[in-house]
Amino acid sequence: MKGSFITLEGIEGAGKSTCMAEVLTVLKTAGRDVLETREPGGTRLGEELRQLLLGHKHTGMHEDTELLLMFAARAEHLQQRILPALHAGRWVLCDRFTDASYAYQGGGRGMDMKRIQQLENWVQGDVRPDLTLLMDLPVELGLERAGKRSSPDRFESEALAFFQRVRKAYLEIARREPQRVQVIDASQSLENVQAQVREVIQRFLEQQA
Ligand code: TMP
């Protein structure tokens, strides 16, 4: 049986880690072999690029550089880990993927979406996630939740308006691709969010059967 490629997206404080754990539990209970990974990162090189992208060492990084480094990490991740896993029949559960480039670099930074699309086509060919869970909540609530964590990274240091543009771009993708992108109301209680996530994954598993 062919594996499926599932991604998780959302603004800071949306509860992706909780969602990740829930998806993993449902898939493992259903007997699926799952590769759990993240972007930027997922490989040794990718994790080093992640440090450059999220750290404060290169605060003034040009937006083109930022986008290219995201896709450089993605190329490595796809070729070295994601594609081999999918070809071996494993499932891949990835914390963020290319929708994050559209949302953060496209929406947040205001970069040309066509540029991102060109890189997507070049780096990924026709590889796209089979299912994406978008953890959605008001930006103020997300930032309040994220604010309770330790020192903010380079993205978490952005202003409210940046995240409002990120959220808008994510919701626009969900509107365009309602089949692939399932929106989870992440403003609800933990139990409620977990239940929404379970339902989406169980329905997806039934469709694959
Ligand atoms: P996180 O995985 O801990 O949420 O941190 C990753 C950060 O990187 C997050 O702020 C979103 C950002 N990001 C982009 O800006 N573009 C991308 O393509 C990806 C994968 C992440």
Is residue 129 over pLDDT 60? yes
Confidence of residue 164 (pLDDT cuts 50, 70, 90): very high
Of residues 46, 40, 24, the one with CA closest to residue 97: 40
Confidence of residue 86 (pLDDT cuts 50, 70, 90): very high
Distance 178 CA to ligand 1 centre (A): 22
Distance 1 CA to ligand 1 centre (A): 31
Highest-confidence segment of 1-10, 32-41, 151-160: 32-41
Q: Which two tokens stand for residue 45?
A: 């090189």
Distance 155 CA to ligand 1 centre (A): 7
Are 134 and 170 in contact by the 8 Å Cβ rule? The answer is yes
Confidence of residue 1 (pLDDT cuts 50, 70, 90): low
Q: Tell me the per-residue pLDDT of 100-123, one tens digit each, with 9 for 90 and over.
A: 999 999 999 999 999 999 999 999
Separation of alpha carbons 8 and 73, rounded Å: 17
The pTM assigned to this predicted structure is 0.97
Distance 40 CA to ligand 1 centre (A): 6
Return the ligand 1 atom nearest residue 108 CA: 15
Separation of alpha carbons 103 and 34, rounded Å: 26
Q: Which residues line ligand 1 (CB under 6 A)?
A: 38-40, 54, 70, 95-96, 100-101, 104-105, 155
Return the ligand 1 atom nearest residue 38 CA: 2
The whole-number pLDDT of residue 90 equals 97
User: What percentage of the chain has pLDDT greater than the value 90?
Assistant: 93
The whole-number pLDDT of residue 64 equals 98
Distance 12 CA to ligand 1 centre (A): 9
Please report the DSSP string for 100-165 in residue order: HIIIIIIIIT---HHHHHHHHHHHHTT---SEEEEEE--HHHHHHHHHTSSS--TTTTS-HHHHHH
Distance 75 CA to ligand 1 centre (A): 15
Nearest CA to ligand 1 atom 16: 101
Is residue 150 over pLDDT 90? no
3 state DSSP class of 208: helix
Q: Tell me the per-residue pLDDT of 42-70, one tens digit each, with 9 for 90 and over.
A: 999 999 999 999 999 999 999 999 999 99
CATH architecture under which domain 5-208 falls: 3-Layer(aba) Sandwich (3.40)
Q: Tell me the per-residue pLDDT of 172-187, one tens digit each, with 9 for 90 and over.
A: 999 999 999 999 999 9
Separation of alpha carbons 53 and 65, rounded Å: 10
- Can you tell me the mean pLDDT for 205-209? 90
Return the ligand 1 atom nearest residue 96 CA: 20
- Can you tell me the mean pLDDT for 121-150? 94
Return the ligand 1 atom nearest residue 154 CA: 10
Are 140 and 73 in contact by the 8 Å Cβ rule? The answer is no
- Can you tell me the mean pLDDT for 4-18? 95
